[in-house]
Structure formats: structure tokens, C-alpha cells
Amino acid sequence: MKNFSLRMATEKDAELVVLFMKKLAKYQKMEDAITATPVRIKRLLNEGLGEAVFGIYKDKVISFAYFHQKSSAFTGQKGLYIDSFFVDDSKRGEGIGKIMFQYLAKYSINKNCEFLEWGCLNWNISAIGFYKKLGAYSIDNMKIYRLSPDALTLNAKEFTQNE
């Protein structure tokens, strides 16, 4: 696509990552779920626990993906997990998402990864159709569970090692 380029995020982009997370949360009707701050994102980027790529069209950032490496003991493989992915409304349907996914696929292979994985809300029919066109498939027999910081702390406090 003419006038479109990609740029990897640096720690200086922490505020921009949070801005795009808020855009994504608004689209997903989950604005209250975003607790990320620029300080937290900067830490993740600095520690190599996450990476981000921005899509830039005519000098304006219009898309982003935040991702990290993961592994699976089930398959014995390593891959990239896309935690967040967003393309501005004004540019959806113009091939930006496809370019971003192609880049992430190439990036994954360059990191010796064997898969690229992400989640999608079940009501997001247009995104599901897009992912299927890319050749992606859904793992429908699994739900993701998470302990919140409070539940994490409570469980850790209750741990006692039997010796």
C-alpha cells in the first residue's frame, strides 16, 4: 500500500501504546478493563516482555499490534501471541490489517516461532471472517482464565509447602 509503513515501538512509545489500547477497548466495549499506564507499558517494553508495531499511513499512526513470545508444552512449540490488535475505523477494509498480519507472520518466522496466536471476542463477526480468510482457525473448546492481582495475592499467601 502506497504511503504506508510499519515501525517497531520503543520505550518512548509507551503513551502511544496506551492510547491504542484505549481505542481498542472502546471498540470492544471494554473501556473499564484498561488499567495499563505508560509506566507499566514502558516496563514491559524495556524488559522485553512485550513488543509493539505501529502502522503509519501518510505520517499518521493508524494501527498497532502488541505481542509477546510464548511457548506451548502441549505442542512443544514456541510462537508469538498477539495480545492486542487495532486498525482505525477510517482505514478498515483497505488491507492494513492484512499487511500487519503478514508482517507479524514474517516476524514470527524470523524469531524461529512455529505459530502465531491471538484471541477474538465471539461477537466480532467481521474480525472472525478476516482471520478465517488469512487461514486462521479457532480453538473453540478452550476458555482462557486469569487470576486478578487480588486473587493472585490471596492464592500466593495461602501457599504452604509440605515438607
pLDDT tens digits along 48-75: 999 999 999 999 999 999 999 999 999 9
The most distant pair of C-alpha atoms in the chain lies apart, rounded to whole Å, by 65
Q: How far is CA 90 from CA 95, 97, 116, in A?
A: 12, 12, 26
User: How far apart are alpha carbons 125 and 81 in whole angstroms?
Assistant: 21
- Which pLDDT score is estimated for 49? 96
pLDDT for residue 163 is more than 50 = no
What's the rounded mean pLDDT across residues 145-149?
85
Query: How many Cβ atoms sit within 10 Å of the Cβ of residue 45?
Result: 21
Does residue 17 belong to any structural domain of this protein? yes
Q: pTM (2 decimals)?
A: 0.89
Q: How far is CA 161 from CA 79, 90, 154, 157, 158, in A?
A: 33, 55, 16, 11, 10
Give the structural domain span for 149. 4-158
pLDDT for residue 161 is more than 80 = no
* pLDDT (tens digit per residue) in 82-114: 999 999 998 888 899 999 999 999 999 999 999
- Cell 477474538 locates to 120
pLDDT for residue 123 is more than 80 = yes
Does residue 163 belong to any structural domain of this protein? no
In the chain, the N- to C-terminal Cα span, in Å, equals 62
pLDDT band at 115 (very low <50, low <70, confident <90, very high): very high
- Which pLDDT score is estimated for 140? 78
* pLDDT (tens digit per residue) in 17-54: 999 999 999 999 999 999 999 999 999 999 999 999 99
Which CATH number is 23's domain given?
3.40.630.30
pLDDT band at 139 (very low <50, low <70, confident <90, very high): confident
Does residue 21 belong to any structural domain of this protein? yes
**Number of domains the chain is built from:** 1
